[in-house]
Amino acid sequence: MLSYVFPLYPNREQREELELTLETCRIAYNSLLEELHKQQIPDRSAMQHKLVEMKKSNPGFGKVYSKTLQYECYRLFSNLSALRSLKKKGRKTGRLRFKGKEWFKTIVYNQSGFRLEKVTEKRSIIHLSRIGSISIKTHRAVEGSVKGLIIKRSCGRWYLILQTDARRKDIVHGSKEIGIDVGIESYLTDSNGIKVQNPKTLEKYRMDLASAQKELSRKRKGSANRAKAKRRMERLHRRVTNARNDFLHKTSARLVRGCRFIAVERLDIKGMMERPNYNARNIADASWNRFLQMLRYKAESAGCGVVEVDPANTTRMCSSCASLQEMPLYKRVYDCGACSMSMDRDCNSAINILKKAYAGPERAYAENMDTYSMKQEASGF
Ligand SMILES: [Zn+2]
């Protein structure tokens, strides 16, 4: 399902209304959690009953759309099951926590209680039950019908997230077969020697972030200026995240559009962080894990095969004669002592990665995947 995010411009009255709704939902969530802690076995119907009781005794609850309030019960149980699945994976988990004002950010309208009215090409009005009608700038056309919405407060601003039943446009895969090597200097290098530069997003914002942090630390706790400085900090962090995600989405999509088969190294991020020549901050900024995740899901829906290979020796081996030599990080060119081949070190690794994928059993899997997607096309899907 496709979601659209639009900035929301409530007037003063509406903003107060939104704040009040958010606060009521938070109180409801926390009260339900308190109830949950009392129960031996979580009992959903008892919780719903508790919600009805709360509504009777607290007139403020009547000002919030009933389904929005009911959603808090759902939110609690879905948090509970998320916690359980973490526990199953062996993670250390505590109990669910009560949510403070800073941690409660969304109001949910599920299925009903709202109506989107298009006024002009660039402007719409969202009618919300119990809150009112708020104007929005729709900078992109909304496709499909709106199934639900979330109102989110982030860094002192309000956003509307529309959840529609429209489907994301599928990427069509290309015809190349490549191996890719990821690194710090170049974000990635493919087996044809084509490089994508590392945007080093965090690096670009480091001065700004440092000065915002300094400003924040100077402000007195609880003061209005501190809140303002904090918002500035949050805005900067959001800008970094947005820029980074934009890069990752574009890069992964471009690869899938050009290729039918992509071989990558299985990454050992933890091991990399411990390597003396690698800078942990750079690695975190590069977010290769997220990149590979995006590459995988985009490739899968496009019918392009992505294969992970064992990273052993991909850097040290000559892609021409398969002899091995040490390759310390400062050596940017692979000069083979055995067959005198000379090549960019990352490109040499990328070729080795592709060769490994061809040799491995995953190759057959990738080919099957391709026929599978062709069959789908043939049968009209
Ligand atoms: Zn060689």
Please give the distance, rounded to the nearest whole angstrom, from the Cα atom of residue 358 to the centre of ligand 1.
19
Please give the distance, rounded to the nearest whole angstrom, from the Cα atom of residue 351 to the centre of ligand 1.
13
Please give the distance, rounded to the nearest whole angstrom, from the Cα atom of residue 46 to the centre of ligand 1.
72
- pLDDT tens-digit readout, 241-286: 889 999 999 999 999 999 999 999 987 766 666 665 566 666 666 7
Residues with Cβ within 8 Å of residue 137, at least 6 apart in sequence: 6, 7, 9, 122, 123
- For the beta sheet containing 106-110, the strands, ordered from the edge strand earlier in sequence to the opposite edge, are 106-110, 146-154, 157-164, 3-8, 132-137, 123-128, 114-118
Q: What is the pLDDT of residue 185?
A: 79
Please give the distance, rounded to the nearest whole angstrom, from the Cα atom of residue 321 to the centre of ligand 1.
4
Q: Which residue has the higher pLDDT, 286 or 374?
A: 286
As a residue count, the chain comes to: 381
Region for 305 from its dihedrals, namely left if φ exceeds 0, alpha if ψ lies in -120 to 50, beta otherwise? beta
Please give the distance, rounded to the nearest whole angstrom, from the Cα atom of residue 337 to the centre of ligand 1.
7
Mean pLDDT, rounded, of the chain: 87
Region of poorest pLDDT, from 43-52, 336-345, 354-363 = 354-363
Please give the distance, rounded to the nearest whole angstrom, from the Cα atom of residue 325 to the centre of ligand 1.
9
Which contiguous run of DSSP H or E holds residue 48?
A: helix 44-57
Please give the distance, rounded to the nearest whole angstrom, from the Cα atom of residue 142 to the centre of ligand 1.
56
Q: b/e string for 238-270 if b means 16 or more Cβ within 10 A?
A: eebeeebeebbeebbbebbebbbbbbbbebeee
- pLDDT tens-digit readout, 75-105: 999 999 999 988 888 888 888 899 998 889 9
- pLDDT tens-digit readout, 22-39: 999 999 999 999 999 988
pTM for this prediction: 0.68
E-assigned strands of 68-142?
106-110, 114-118, 123-128, 132-137
Please give the distance, rounded to the nearest whole angstrom, from the Cα atom of residue 342 to the centre of ligand 1.
8
Spatial contact of 195 and 185, defined as CB atoms under 8 Å apart? no
